[in-house]
Structure formats: structure tokens, C-alpha cells
Chains A and B, each alone.
Chain A
Amino acid sequence: MAKRVILAVAGAGKTYHICHEIQPDKRNLIVAFTHANIKNIQSELIKAYGEIPEMTRIMTFDAFVYHMLIRPYESSIFDFFGEDYKYGETSITLKKPPKQRIKVNGRDVPNRKYKKKEFLQHYMDERKQYYCETLSELAMYVKQGRKSLARIAAEKLNLFFDNVFIDEFQDFREYDYELIVRLSKYLTNIVLVGDYHQHSVSGQNNSGKPFKKAGTEISYEDFVEELQGKKFDVDETTLIRSRRCSEEICSFIYDKLGIQIQSVGINSGRVVRPSNIREILDDNSIVKLVYENASRYSFRAVNWSYSKGDTYESACVILNGPTKNLLESSFSVSTLKPVTVNKLYVALTRTKGDLYIVTPDEFENMKDKYYK
């Protein structure tokens, strides 16, 4: 029985590690957050074994919850809420469930469409589509006899899988996070892989557990402690070295942001303060990473948060207002919001090669010329 969390740094090769840690003759389940992650995992597996091993299944988290935890037990779910169940089609929707309170004429009032968690309509719209947002809540709330669905499903998963891997673990929030922890309690072998410092960077669902509790941010140390409290072995060493970023870039990040990141030393990129900024901006082999509104520029630009998961030959990070002093010796990371730190960390860790840094003041002068 093994429950493990591997905390990784950017570019350490999380996907690579998962794909090589699985034993191809064992029965493996790999759960990832997005379809893009799944594509990466598939191609990494093909690289490693020539094909996706027959006994290995890969699913997005939503598909996993719907197909393995909800759909097989639908009749119990309907029973539980006292609703009639007829075999038939249900599906899932990205549509948001009705909010508890809404604003009417500027006043904050209770939403009549909102249903409490005691009702099936809290989880499902009138067209029999489950809200993705409440799927995990549903799996934990419903009981069949004395066991929760989550537990029944986990026991079933144990019959079919020797190992369960969950990738990009830091992206799971609130009920999704709780569900993973709950499943882990009953699963024989589970490995969670993620990068604490990349949490809250993706677009959606950035609030709440496990990174915020009662409104305060949870630090890296608190996070590790919480996981240990849930009986996980926390591995902070295996994936602490970045295969992507050079030593110079890693120590720059450590100095400036205080994030433990080391380099394997494969690449030799430098941190560069360009003297001729226009030359860099005009060079399309260098990806420009802007805080927001990448689509407004004529050069090849990507928003900091969208660049998560990407690797570039070389990158130029254009700082924003709050981070403009990054290069000054007086810069202190404590002045930044944690979310901003994480986004900046993502942007700084995208390049295999050189990392160019441009301040907002420098960029301001020539900005107009690059609007589409």
C-alpha cells in the first residue's frame, strides 16, 4: 500500500516521470486535468513503449468521475434523492450551476434557481446534464447504504488497477481536491504529481482549498504538512531539478522568488537584459510572455498563465506593473500576491535557452508599434 505525492518544479518532466514510472505490464490509470495534458501523456507513452501499453488507461478528471463514479451508480443516486430513475442518457455540462445569491438591481439577493445540496437539482440541470463543477461534490455526498459512492468506486478501482496516477495535482480545487484525498484513503496505490508553485495559474477554479483556507493563503510548508497529515509520503526531491531551465535561470528564480528549483544542467540558457529591445521583439523565434492581452500584439506572444506546460527555445518575459522591480536588488517577493508570484514563476520557467527580461517602462515606449 503506497500513497505518494511527488512535488515537482517547472520543467522537471512530470509527465515524463509518470510515463516512465508506470510499469507497462501493470494495470495503470492515469488521470490528468485537461485534454492537452492527456495528449502529452499519450505521446510520451508512445515514445517510451512504442505504443500506449494495453493495460494503461488515461482519462481526464471529469471523464473519470462521470464514467467511473457517477454513471454506474446513477440509479442509487436518484434513489438517494428520492427521484425516479429510468435508464437513459445523461451527460455532463461545463455550464455553471445557479449561484446561491445574485445581484438584482444592484442588490444582493438569494437566487430562486439555486438548489441546496440535498437536492439532485444542485448537481444536475433540467436536461439531465450534470454540472462538472459539482460532480465531485455529488460523488462524496451520495451514500449507498453506509458507504459513500467515492468509497464504493475506490474499492472497485482497486479491483481493476494496480496503480493510479494523478497528474497536475495542484490544479484540483475544493471538492475535486477533497475527492482525490478521499479516494486516496481507499486506493491501494496512488501517486499524485504536481507543482505547488504553479497552482492558481490556470484560468478556472482558482480559489479555495487546498491553497486557501478561511481566506488565508496556505504556504508551501503548510501544504506539505497537510498532505502528510492525510498519510501521504511527500517526495520533495525526485523532481526538484528542472530538465528545461539552465542553472543560471534556476538560481535567478531562487534568488528572486525564493522557490526551490535546481537545474539538471542539460541546457545552458542565460538571463539576459537586452540592450536592443526591438531586435528581441522582432525576432519571432523568441516567444514574448506578457501578463495579459497577448492577442493584441503583432509579435508572437503568449499570456503568462496560458504558457503553463509549454516549452520554448527561448523566451522574453515582459514584466508588468507589480513585478517591474524584479531586477532591482531591492526587490522583495513578499510585496507580490501569491497568485502573481506563481504566474511569474510559470513565465520565467518556459525557456530551454536564454531568458530575456524587459521591464514595463522599457516596453511602454514602443508598445504602440506592436499593436495589431
Chain B
Amino acid sequence: MGYVKRLYINGLKRFQHFEIEFNERLSILVGENEAGKSTILEAIRIVLNQQYWNADKSVLQDLFNLENVRSFQDSPSIATLPQIKIEIDLQLDNTPRFIDFYGPNHEYGNRDEEKYGIRFECKFDEDFSDELADSINDGKIPFEYYSLTWQTYANLPYKVAKRPIKNLFIDTSETSKSSAFNYFNRALFSNLYSNDTKLKAKNAFREKLNTSFEDVSLPDIDDRRRFGIDNKKVVLESVLSVYENSIPLENKGSGMESLVKTQIALNREDNLDTILIEEPENHLCFTNLKQMLQQILDHEQDSQIILTTHSNMIASRLNLGNVIWIAENHYLSLKNVDSQTSAFFEKADDNEFLQLLLSKKVILVEGATEYLLLPKFYEKKTGRTVENDGVSIISCNGISYRRYLEIAEETDKKIAVITDNDHDQNKIDEAGAFNLLNEKQHVFMGSTMDDWTWEACVYNCNQEKLDEMIQIQEGAQYLFHGNNYGQVLGKMLANKVETAYQMLISEEDFNIPVYVEDAIEWLNE
């Protein structure tokens, strides 16, 4: 079965140069807003489905990369005119009809290597160079004189009718709702039935239209004129809707819509090769989303699915190994994430692993108390807020921080881990060794047995203030796990979150434990 293997984009929307490799089955594209996730899906459709083939050329204004447009305007000439090139490498089997897609005519990858694919090019038609040179040199982009060409890697013209990858796009974003739905209905109709069946349906529709006034005795306008129906004004595809229990899908609410669309796309017997889904979490309630994810998992082996998402849950449910992270003109595939780690995140519904991918700098902490207090310490130390600096504080909530580090291993983000030594000299030694080996990831913890956990460290450097602030009962022992750490610290350990909250709302100026200071400093180096 065929699938979309690689995509190369040159000059489309936010991408000046971009390439990405997709997984054979499931690819989950995550990235910040505006990272270009939808542009990736659009690029696939431009090439495979010849989107814009017939469109008014003014649409090109929205497609060109703005930096390319700017550099044209800085030095206008025919040579600097913006253009778009998109190539997709396909995986197909060696059947005779696919020889037309196989060849060395691609710009990316090894020269002369023969592979399957399609090349799209949108550029100024140089036959008009002489006529338009003046206006181009004045900085005008002659959109109308651009030509759009689709060629296979065998250098043969590509027509959507010959498309080697049957695909369907499921889009749930609010803005494109009405047009998207029509696209879906049309695409489904044309993919589902043979030409013969489609033709029959169209003819039947036409004939009924023509005769629809026959049974009502509609009075004539005058003795020479009457109303009739011009069947050319109605196209079957524009009035098609999918009905479920006699309710058109459009009326079911956006959430259900995408659920049902996904269902239809996945349940087809002659499997689609590729299904593109844009942000399935839009308008879906938790239960329905879970249901959709289950559908996707059930059909994982039948089609290639490429979806974009912002949702942690989607990413971890559908296996982190399938996540492809899009940032600043490059991509990173989590394919190599250890399957144990992946399973770990899958179980924890409320994990923040996407936040990990989406921030530039990260501080990983053990639990809620650190999470509450750290922003205050950060501000005291740097004079700036964590938000200002784009630092995310993520609470591991019982998942070992090593799992997080593993996921982020291949990224170039800086991650500081703030953790406890738990009275264990080995941990201190290991952290030291780890920091020597890792440039982007460092682990920080108290350096003595007295500074064995967060509360102990905080207490040790703020003893006076905390003795005053924390109310203790005379004679109470405040044992923690059967050990006596003194009354105040004992109470702090037994009521961690409460204490942290109390510290947070007090106007006191607390000292920062040294290892926490070290972590903040290192992060800002």
C-alpha cells in the first residue's frame, strides 16, 4: 500500500526551506501555533490533489513566503521573483502504472537516484519576460503570468485522475467549516463510487430536476412565458450531504461531524491510502475524542494517517513514538523514544509532555510545592518572570524525570531538573556525572545529607522566617515517615502544598536554596 514518505517545501507560506519525513502509518504533527502544521497538510494536498489547479491566480498572494516576497521587493528582478516548489516522495509498489511516477527528476535527495514522487512548481512563465520586465523591475509580482505545473519524478505530466494515493482531508477548524464540509462530501462521493455509478446518480438527479414542476400546476407568467428549471444551474456535488438517521451531518455540531467523518474515512473497505486530519480535538468533548482516538488506533494498520494536534492526550494516547515535532523550519521525530517511556506517558492522562516540546527552556520539578514556589524564586533571582523568559515549569507528578529527558534528548532545548537527593550520596554523584556528559540537560539537587529534599532545603536557608510563620502545637512530634526532623520541618513535610501556598501569599522575602539558584543561573547561561 502506498504512502507519503517525505515532503519538501520551498517558498510556501512560512516555509522557505523545509523537509519532513512521515511515518508509514501514524504521524502526529505537533508544534506551536503558526509553526506550519496546517501548511504541511496543505502542501500535500496541493501536490497530490492539484489544489489551486483551477484557482484564480490571486490566491498566490497568500501562498508565497513573505520573506521571499520581501527580498524580491528589496531588489526586484525576474530572477528574484518569488516561487514555490513542493516535492513529495511516495512509497508505491512496482506495478506497471506506477512506473510513470518513478524517476530521477527531483531536486532533493541524491542526484540521479530514481524514486517515486511528484513535483509541483509555481513560477513566473518566462515566455512573458520581455513584455513584463518593466513592471517586474518596478516591484510588481505578475501573479496572472505564473504557471503551476505538476510533474512526476519520471518527468511526465501529473493529473489528479491518475493520483497514486487515494486520500481524504478531514478539517474541523471553525473558519473553513462550510467549504470544508463540501469538500469532504465531494471527495467522499468521488472516492466511494465507480465512474459508472456516479454517472447514473448524476443523470437521475438531472432528470428529476427537469420534471420537478410537472405535478404542480404552476401558472404561466403570460401566454408566451413560464418558469422552468435550468439544470445547469445546479451541480449535484454542491448539494450533496451525508445523512445519518435522516439528519445531515452538517447539523450535528462540529464535534460530531469530525467524529463521523473520521469514522467514514476509516471504515471504508477499499482502504484509503492516506487520511489527513486537522486538529481532531476541535469541538470534540472528551468522550467523543476518546472514541475517535480508539477508531484511529483500530485502523492504524489500514491507512497512513497524518494528523495535527495541540492535545497532550491525543499525542500520548496515539503513542509518543508517532509524534513529529515541528519547529522553526525543522522537524524532529520521536520514533526512537523507548517504548516503555511511551507507555508510561500513555497511562498518565494528565501529563504535560507536549508542553515540554513546545517550550524553549524547561525546569522539571518533582511535584506541586516546587511548582508553586519556583516562579517566585525565579523572579527574585533574575528580576524577570518565567513567562518573560519562555521558561516552562513542568511538574513530573510521579513520572520519573528521566522519561521526560529521554523524549527531549534529541531536541536542543535546555532542561534543568530540580530534584531531591533523598539522603542518597549515589544520587548526588550520579547527577554530577550526568551533568558532565550532557550539555543541554542538567540535574540539580541538594549537595548534603541535610539538604535531602525540597522542604528541608527551603527550611535550612530560611529557618528564622519559617519558624515564625509556621504555627506548631506545643509538644506535637510531627514525625514524617516515622522520622523526627524537628517540629517546623516535620509539619512542612506533612503539609507540603499548604506550606508552599502559605509562603506564596506571605509578603516575606525568602532565600533561595543554593542548588535552585544554580539551576536558574545555568538555565540562563
Contacts and interface: CB of A to CB of B under 8 A. Distances in A.
A36 interface: no
A160 interface: yes
Interface stretch (B21-29, B128-136, B149-157, B351-359): B149-157
B96 A161 contact: yes
Interface stretch (A70-78, A172-180, A194-202, A262-270): A70-78
Contacts of B249: none
Give the bracket for the number of chain A residues in contact with chain B.
20 to 34
A44 to B, nearest CB: 18
A160 B95 contact: yes
Given A73-B104, A160-B96, A144 B154 contact: no
Given A29-B96, A57-B97, A72 B105 contact: yes
Contacts of B96: 27-29, 55-57, 160-161
B422 interface: no
B345 interface: no
Contacts of B104: 72-73, 75-76
Among B99, B100, B119, max chain A CB count under 10 A is at B99
Contact of B154 (A28, A72, A161): A72
A73 B112 CA distance: 9
A99 interface: no
Contacts of A29: 96
Contacts of B517: none
A159 interface: yes
A160 B155 contact: no
B239 to A, nearest CB: 34
A161 B121 CA distance: 31
B99 A68 contact: yes
A41 to B, nearest CB: 15
B102 interface: yes
A371 interface: no
Nearest to B126: A86
B114 interface: yes
B515 interface: no
B98 interface: yes
Given A27-B96, A29-B96, A156 B156 contact: no
B103 interface: yes
Nearest to A71: B155
Interface string A63-97: 00001100111111000000000010000000000
Contacts of B153: 72
B156 A87 contact: no
A87 B103 CA distance: 14
A76 B98 contact: no
B471 interface: no
B155 A72 contact: yes
Given A67-B100, A144-B112, A27 B95 contact: yes
A87 B151 contact: yes
Contact of A74 (B102, B114, B121, B155): B155
Contacts of A67: 100, 154, 156
A159 B96 CA distance: 9
A75 B102 CA distance: 15
Among B96, B100, B121, B154, max chain A CB count under 10 A is at B96
Contacts of B121: 87
B4 to A, nearest CB: 21
B95 A71 contact: no
Among A28, A159, A160, max chain B CB count under 10 A is at A160
Given A75-B104, A87-B105, A159 B155 contact: no
A156 B99 contact: yes
Nearest to A70: B155
Contacts of A55: 95-96
Nearest to A157: B99
Contact of A87 (B102, B112, B154, B155): B155
A260 to B, nearest CB: 36
Interface in B67-121: 94-100, 102-105, 112, 114, 119, 121
Contacts of A71: 154-156
Contacts of A72: 102-105, 114, 153-156
B158 to A, nearest CB: 13
Nearest to A89: B157
Contact of B112 (A28, A57, A68, A76): A76
B105 A75 contact: yes
A160 B94 CA distance: 5
Given A72-B103, A75-B104, A87-B119, 10 more contacts: A67-B154, A67-B156, A72-B104, A72-B154, A159-B94, A159-B99, A160-B95, A160-B98, A160-B99, A161-B96
28 contacts: A28-B96, A29-B96, A55-B96, A57-B96, A57-B97, A67-B100, A67-B156, A68-B99, A71-B154, A72-B102, A72-B104, A72-B105, A72-B154, A73-B103, A73-B104, A74-B155, A75-B104, A75-B105, A76-B112, A87-B119, A87-B121, A87-B151, A144-B112, A156-B99, A160-B94, A160-B95, A160-B96, A160-B99
Smallest CB-CB A-B distances: 6 pairs: A72-B103, A160-B99, A72-B154, A57-B96, A71-B155, A159-B94
